[in-house]
Amino acid sequence: MKRVPLNELKSRMEKFRGVMDKYNADWKMAVIFDKVNLYYFTGTMPEGMLLIPRDDEATLWVRRSFERAVKESLFPSIKPMRSFRDAAQSFTTIPDTIYLETEFVPLAFYNRFKKYFPFENVKSLDRQVSNIRSIKSSYEIDIMERCGTIHKKILEERVPEILEEGISEVEFATKLYSIMVEEGHHGIARFAMLDTEILIGHICFGESSIYPTYFNGPGGNYGMSAAVPLLGSHERKLKKGDLVFVDVACGLEGYHTDKTMTYMFGQSLSDDVIEVHKSCVDIQNKNALRATTWFCAFLNCQSNLYQS
């Protein structure tokens, strides 16, 4: 079993405390519930919570499964709990304000927690955690680079092997999923969006890729049905001349790479379509140049302000 190194976990906690001290000088206690954030800070994702007092050691309180958490994690302090009551009893006082993930915690869950931790106010720590997670360590970058190598092989070598006339979107998607797991994909792609689900990504033949999407994303497809607008359609079959749109994330040890590729099946595109594509690429490049110019000007302005 691969475990997140202890020095990596310690570094993340130190960065979190530093950010909280800098931007929330009055903080006394923070709580992490979201399982992805729990994994980031502790190396395991149990049913439980990470309690971070400002002036004491952070503790991972685990309801299920304590045994698994201890085997998976090198986090220094892991304790079992049957309910929030067990954790609350370890504190003589509860601060008036607690920081937690307001983007992830449902109201009913919040009320159950507050029953045993009777604080008065709640403040968000979502941005603080996101800022820390956005800056990758060399440990994280190494995993992502290995993931990218797997992803490249899947999209550039393995996908063309399974494209055949008459295959449905859903058949193609299930074959692709099997190949991805075979090559090392950890089997799931996660989104930090409320009520957003995804199985593998967007697998679309032809016009399916511009079918209205059900969530805030650029691509769409018909999906299995109105109840499951995911994976692909049983009815839409691949035919000669189709463009095949494959937008999938590949994951390894909790980290993802994301890539979209479009394949021409059976025949090349017409000259008119290629010209439209070149125009789109030109627009993209011009916008990228404008964004780079603006960002450099912004950095120069910030530098001048700092010097003055």
Supply the DSSP symbol for 208.
G
Query: How many other β-carbons are positioned within 10 Å of the β-carbon of residue 229?
Result: 17
Closest CA to 37 of 106, 99, 103, 129: 129
pTM of the predicted structure, to 2 decimals? 0.86
pLDDT in tens, 102-147: 999 999 999 999 999 999 999 999 999 999 999 999 999 999 999 9
Cα(220)–Cα(204) distance, integer angstroms? 8
Q: What are 272's two structure tokens?
A: 């008119």
pLDDT in tens, 96-105: 999 999 999 9
Residue 307 pLDDT greater than 60, yes or no: no
pLDDT bucket at 55, cuts 50 / 70 / 90: very high
Query: 155: which residues sit within 8 A by CB, 6+ positions away?
Result: 246, 248, 259, 261
pLDDT bucket at 201, cuts 50 / 70 / 90: confident
Residue 308 pLDDT greater than 50, yes or no: no
In the chain, pLDDT over 70 holds for what percent of residues?
96
Closest CA to 41 of 61, 63, 23: 61
